Amino acid sequence: MHRDLLDSLRCPAAHEESWLVVMVHDAVDATLLRADLACPVCGAEYEVRDGLAQFVAAAEPASTQASARIMHDLDLSRLAALLGMTESTQSALLIGAHDATGVQQASMQIGERLPLGAGTIAAAALDEAHATPTYLAEAVRVVRQGGRIVAPATAPLPDGVRELARDETEWVAEVTARASGLIELRRRAPEIID
C-alpha cells in the first residue's frame, strides 16, 4: 500500500468519517509492507500484511467482500481513457478485475463500505461482479465531484451521477453531487508513527 493513500483512508465502520492512526512496521521507500491501522473513534483495527490492506470487519460475510486496487499514474489503456485519467498525480479505484497497470498500486481487501473518505478519489471502475447498488453508491461517495465512474452496461445508474457515454458493454458517468449529502469531517490530520 502506498503511503500517499493514507490521506484518503477512513475507517469503514458505520460512523462519521475518521482518519486512521497508522503504525508502520516495514516499508520500502513509500510502499508500506506491514503496518497496523487503528480507528480513534470506534477502536477498530486493520492491518497491512505483505502490502495488502485488510479492511474487512471480522463479522462480515465472505459474500460481501471484494478485492480493490488504488492505481496511481494509470497506463494509457482504454480504461484510463474512459476514467479521464489525464494527470499523473490522480488515483483511481478499481473494484474487482480490471486490465490495467499503474506505476503505484495499493491492494486492499474491502467489505461493503469502502475505507476511503468522501471525494478523495479521482475516478472509479467496477467490474460485472461488483457493480452492485451498494458498491455503486460507495463509488459515488468516494469519487470527487466531476470525477468519473465506469461500470458494466447492465448495472443501474446510481443517484448522484450524470451519464456521459454508454455502449453495449459499459457506461461512463460523472459524479455530480454527493449521493446522500455526506459531509466530510476532518477530525484530525493522519498520524504516522514509524
Where on the chain is the footprint of Zn ion (CB under 5 A)? 11, 13, 39, 41-42, 44
Nearer Cβ to Zn ion, position 44 or 140?
A: 44
Nearer Cβ to Zn ion, position 41 or 137?
A: 41
Residue 185 CB, nearest approach to Zn ion (Å):
12
Residue 137 CB, nearest approach to Zn ion (Å):
19
- Contacts for 115 with CB less than 8 Å, ≥ 6 apart: 9, 10, 11, 12, 20, 46, 53, 55, 108
- Beta strands of the chain (E only): which ranges? 21-28, 31-38, 45-49, 52-55, 66-74, 91-95, 102-110, 121-126, 143-152, 161-166, 170-175, 192-193
By C-alpha distance, which of 104, 169, 171, 103 is closest to 136?
A: 171
Greatest Cα pair distance in the chain: 49
Question: The C-alpha cell of 92 is what?
Answer: 483511481
Residue 37 CB, nearest approach to Zn ion (Å):
10
Residue 101 CB, nearest approach to Zn ion (Å):
32
Nearer Cβ to Zn ion, position 13 or 157?
A: 13
Nearer Cβ to Zn ion, position 21 or 33?
A: 21
